[in-house]
Amino acid sequence: MLQKAEAYVRAHAKQVDPTFRPHFHLAAPVGWINDPNGFCVFRGRYHVFAQFHPYDSVWGPMHWGHWVSDDLVAWTWLGVALAPDSPYDELGCFSGTALQDGDRLLVIYTGVHRDAAGRTVQEQCIAESRDGIHFEKWACNPVIGARDLPPDGAPEDFRDPKLIRTPDGWRVIAANRGPKNGRQLSFVSRDLIHWTCEGVLLQGVGQMPECPDYGPCDGRDLMLTSVMNLPQDGLRFQNGHHDVVYLVGQERDGRLLPERMEAVDLGPDFYAPQRIRTPDGRSVMIAWMDMWQTDSPTHYLGHGWRGQFTVARELSIRDGRLLQRPVRELERLRGEVFEADVQVDGETAVPGLCGRRYDLLLDIAVRPGAWAEVRLLQDGGDYFSVRYDPQTQVLTADRSRCGYTMGPGGGPEVKPAGRAVLEGATDRISLRILVDQCSVEVFAGDGEAALTTLAFPKGPAEGISFAGQCAVHVRKWAL
């Protein structure tokens, strides 16, 4: 199955329609990708994998696609690392993580199969590589099975293992559905083969807090988790079906005691983040830039691919709040700067300010009682809107007027916009906006808020203009 998938990618990757292909984001070579998997450093290079279905641009039997990078910006496709070719993963190689262990790269993932009664079961499996490219699954898989769950654990919802090295051996944090909705369980082992469940690390967060990423950040314990059916709470948690949250706190006696829980990204297209510690000590995160229960023009227009990742982002914690900024390596892609001061009264265009992939810095001063808007990917009356209203302190990123929709088959969609409250903001704000063919990533202030949104314009869509009543200092680099 692995060789079949590799052959299919080689035969079909050059046939995908390039109209919306990103230039500085990792994307599916063909077919479908979703969650980042196995984000790690191995022998001085960055590796990341993805949930990958090569044969169609919709979700299907999960393989692991594999990329490598020297700088967290330019990613090179290495091939298919795992395929669902064993009895314990016959229905898919679901998400997991990776770590370097001496001269080998370990990956732990969820193998999905049916038991003797025909019920779907999710269990945790390990594979290893000596060269960082070719992987061998362990003969003793699954290493953490349904047998290791507490008596009240559901084996059909037991997935997304986070592998952690400890002073005494190894730890795995995995999502599991219990009698009172979802939770995250902690397992320990000395040899990676024999595992014991030591209890519940986190519970009480939505129906199923999946894709856990857990570890220290700036002296605190930081959990990133993608939550199914988290109750909506104004603009704090707005997606309803799938929100990604962070919890900052301290672990005591095997339980995470969170002091704060907030959304990681308030845009409609952000899920399943993973992070690493870089060799120079930074905490860096990458995520799937897409969302469940939407339909992509790259699928329904027959372009042959769907799915990409966000740019890698540096994380820090200040006053208990998570900050995120694009990795500094991205600035190496910058060309000549375009700089201007713009007085905006109604819609205002700036000669020479245009593009389809760029890094845009805006310092905005809004006039009393007014609002400010930047219109991106503009083609006539179609555009992507980033709007700030000082009266409500709300920043909105909205694709509803930008070409193709992401509703079923190109129909209406439930959530074409994301909104963030900029606490403490006044009539002056700073924005950094990354645009790459079909995506817009907005960062407010020093990274206090992020909104990630896909957008698929129907024309060339290189226009950039402003609206409202404000003064704007613009700096823009083509990337």
Domains of the chain: 2-7+24-329 (2.115.10.20), 334-478 (2.60.120.560)
Report the alpha-carbon distance of residue 358 to residue 396 in Å, rounded.
20
pLDDT tens, residue by residue, 355-371: 999 999 999 999 999 99
**Sign of the CA dihedral with 341 first, then 343, 346, and 351 last:** negative
The model's pTM is 0.97
Residue 1 has pLDDT above 90, yes or no: yes
H/E element, 298: helix 297-300
Q: Are strands 169-178 and 158-166 parallel, antiparallel or unpaired?
A: antiparallel
| CA nearest to 59, candidates 416, 299, 227 | 299
Interstrand relation of 242-252 and 449-454 (parallel, antiparallel or unpaired): unpaired
Residue with the larger pLDDT of the pair 231 and 175: 175
Confidence grade of residue 469 (pLDDT, cut at 50, 70, 90): very high
- Residue 270 · residue 287 · CB < 8 Å: yes
* 42-93 pLDDT tens trace: 999 999 999 999 999 999 999 999 999 999 999 999 999 999 999 999 999 9
Provide the residue type at 357 as one letter: R
Task: Tell me which residues are annotated as active site.
Answer: 35
pLDDT at 97 over 90: yes
**What is the structure's pLDDT at 213?**
98
What is residue 231's predicted lDDT score, i.e. its pLDDT?
A: 80
Which contacts qualify for 225-233: CB closer than 8 Å, 24 or more apart? 225/175, 225/184, 226/271, 226/272, 226/273, 227/182, 228/182, 230/205, 230/206, 231/206
Model pLDDT, residue 420: 97
**Does the pLDDT at position 239 exceed 80?**
no
pLDDT of residue 236: 87
Q: Which two tokens stand for residue 168?
A: 């005494």
371-401: pLDDT as tens digits: 999 999 999 999 999 999 999 999 999 999 9
Is the predicted pLDDT of residue 264 greater than 80, yes or no?
A: yes
